[in-house]
């Protein structure tokens, strides 16, 4: 959830790839979007931050899930996270937020904790994409719900965009994730390119790893372009907001390409200098989906 356009900034220096309540967002939707953001941000911190062991993290996430369900029923929770569930409960009532989508986000955080604790690896690309259906796709569907968009084609295109953003985040953050035991590269992908874990834990160049990451980024780009027509379909501010999301994701992919896809050595990011280009790209016709070779 990153954006140089967001007015809401978390207290810790999180860097995100999903935009949060930017100036393009209609004022009436900023409170529910902010409530959803803080719900996801806090759950992510429970799963990631500090030095708690896996059992403690999972227990806290279970309590967090129970508080979510209580907020949905309008009953009192544990009061451990009042700044999250106070606003969220009000937004659930006002906007009828679908609780199953919020719970799917918690499923993803719990999966991260378990995979990290057990040093598990994703077997193939299908497993990685399945993870994205919980970690990213619910966010887009929640936003479409707020904009009262429910048709199947829009939901599918939203899933493509959100999956792309999640994959882009994986490949942008490769160095940091590997250092903390998070491994989103599948065994299938690494075997296809003959890449070893030791290569990705090193600062040395690797032609094999470069080819692998180029393939990863090409897949992310295809997902993004497959979903991009949604930005042309949505009217008004929602469409322009999504155009900036698409432009931002594609810009990060361009920055990854500019460092020869070596994100196991260096982490690219979008900064203030990129804003004019993002605005320009958002105003241009959106790129069409590239066919898979």
pLDDT of 23 reads: 62
- pLDDT at residue 249 is higher than 80: yes
- pLDDT at residue 3 is higher than 80: no
What average pLDDT score do residues 215-222 get?
Answer: 98
CA distance 75 to 59: 21
pLDDT of 99 reads: 98
pLDDT of 7 reads: 29
Average pLDDT, the chain: 88
pLDDT digits (tens, 9 = 90+) for 268-287: 987 778 777 767 666 777 66
**How is domain 121-293 classified at the CATH fold level?**
Farnesyl Diphosphate Synthase (1.10.600)
**Two structure tokens written together for 71:** 């907020």
Residues of the chain within CATH 1.10.600.10 domain(s) are 121-293
Contact 248, 6 (CB under 8 A): no
| Between 36 and 270, residue with greater pLDDT | 36
What pTM was estimated for this model as a whole? 0.88
pLDDT of 244 reads: 87
- Concatenated DSSP letters of 161-204: HHHHHHHHHHHHTHHHHHHTT---S-HHHHHHHT--HHHHTSSS
CA distance 57 to 47: 6
């Amino acid at each position: 959830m990153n954006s140089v356009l967001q007015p809401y900034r978390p207290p810790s220096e999180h860097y995100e790839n999903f935009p949060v309540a930017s100036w393009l967002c209609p004022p009436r939707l900023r409170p529910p979007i902010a409530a959803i953001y803080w719900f996801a941000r806090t759950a992510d911190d429970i799963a990631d931050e500090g030095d708690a062991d896996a059992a403690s993290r999972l227990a806290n996430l279970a309590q967090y899930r129970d508080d979510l369900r209580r907020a949905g029923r309008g009953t009192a929770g544990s009061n451990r996270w009042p700044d999250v569930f106070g606003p969220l409960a009000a937004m659930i009532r006002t906007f009828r937020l679908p609780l199953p989508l919020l719970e799917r986000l918690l499923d993803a955080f719990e999966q991260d904790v378990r995979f990290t604790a057990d040093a598990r690896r994703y077997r193939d690309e299908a497993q990685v994409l399945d993870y994205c259906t919980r970690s990213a796709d619910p966010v887009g569907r929640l936003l479409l719900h707020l904009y009262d968009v429910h048709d199947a084609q829009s939901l599918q295109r939203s899933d493509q965009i959100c999956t792309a953003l999640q994959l882009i985040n994986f490949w942008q953050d490769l160095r940091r994730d590997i250092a903390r035991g998070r491994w989103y590269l599948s065994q299938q992908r690494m075997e296809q390119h003959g890449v070893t874990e030791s290569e990705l834990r090193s600062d040395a160049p690797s032609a094999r790893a470069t080819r692998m990451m180029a393939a990863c980024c090409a897949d992310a780009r295809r997902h993004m372009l497959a979903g991009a027509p949604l930005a042309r379909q949505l009217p008004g501010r929602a469409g322009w907001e999504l155009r900036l999301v698409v432009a931002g994701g594609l810009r990060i992919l361009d920055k990854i390409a500019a460092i020869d896809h070596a994100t196991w050595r260096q982490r690219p990011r979008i900064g203030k200098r990129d804003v004019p280009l993002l605005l320009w790209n958002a105003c241009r016709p959106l790129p069409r989906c590239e066919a898979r070779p």
